[in-house]
A = this chain, B = another copy of it.
């Protein structure tokens, strides 16, 4: 739509699309609204739409992913979670324990996170575990603890949704619903979070190509939820000095093809604390829209993934460095304009 298009004009276009039997996907940006069309079999003549009042142009998106594509919506998507933004001017930092283990542990870590000025708090209540005999999370009790941390410290909550059965519960408590790497192609779950009224953070699968990641996001957006944040967390390779190989080159690659924000999780990517800080800094320098890291007050006692959690003082330091590195990049970009 043109930047001066009225709301009535947008509504009229949506109606025309619906009347043709297709599904319209309006995505407002800072200056203008993009409207995606799905549900069509084969190509539609752009002339159908270009004559409608307020329409700037009609573009045929030739990629397998449509709504995700920057061809459709050239402007960056900013995902808003309460007063916070992911994909906006400042890099987003999401921090917290791997798993919610107890009320005390969660509040202690939430206090650290909040005291560093960080607003997005992560913690798993439902944990995907390779073994059926490992700790599977506190479930709803864990969600309630997270809600208490939100209340007490003014944090927004990022927590994983494992399956469609518990999706209602997670949607009720979470501010951002996280879809884990193992579920990146769990299409029923993608459709379910596509119907949710909360933003979704979608982690790249352990051996997912860029196209597969974008098509997984497309599943979510095709259901009408356009608030999707992508997350790189490392891929499987032969390399054995880290648990996974963090693939930072996907950051500029996503930004070229898609308008969606992308953040990086170096905690799972590297699996070891002494590599988390260098790679978190590197993610920001590569242009990521944010990072997600694990922080633990007593990592040696953590029920899952202790060795990769940052100690509070390391995290505080990292927050400062992230801001400083981001400032370098932002200034560089400004000077180029």
Contacts and interface: CB of A to CB of B under 8 A. Distances in A.
B128 A210 contact: no
Given A132-B222, A241-B209, A321-B328, A165 B188 contact: yes
Given A186-B186, A282-B283, 10 more contacts: A38-B133, A128-B187, A131-B215, A210-B241, A248-B278, A278-B286, A282-B285, A320-B332, A324-B332, A328-B328
A136 B222 CA distance: 15
Interface string A309-329: 000000001001100110011
Interface in A235-277: 235-242, 245-253, 256, 269-270, 274-275
A208 to B, nearest CB: 9
12 contacts: A38-B133, A163-B186, A163-B187, A210-B239, A235-B238, A239-B250, A246-B249, A248-B248, A249-B269, A320-B332, A321-B332, A324-B332
Nearest to A266: B249
A286 B266 CA distance: 12
A281 B329 contact: yes
A279 B187 contact: no
Nearest to A277: B252
Contact of A245 (B187, B237, B240, B252): B237
Contacts of A77: none
A162 interface: yes
Given A218-B131, A285-B325, A249 B245 contact: yes
Interface in A64-92: 64-66
A324 to B, nearest CB: 4
Nearest to A223: B132
**Which residue among A133, A189, A212 has the maximum number of chain B CB atoms within 10 Å of its CB?**
A133
B336 A329 contact: no
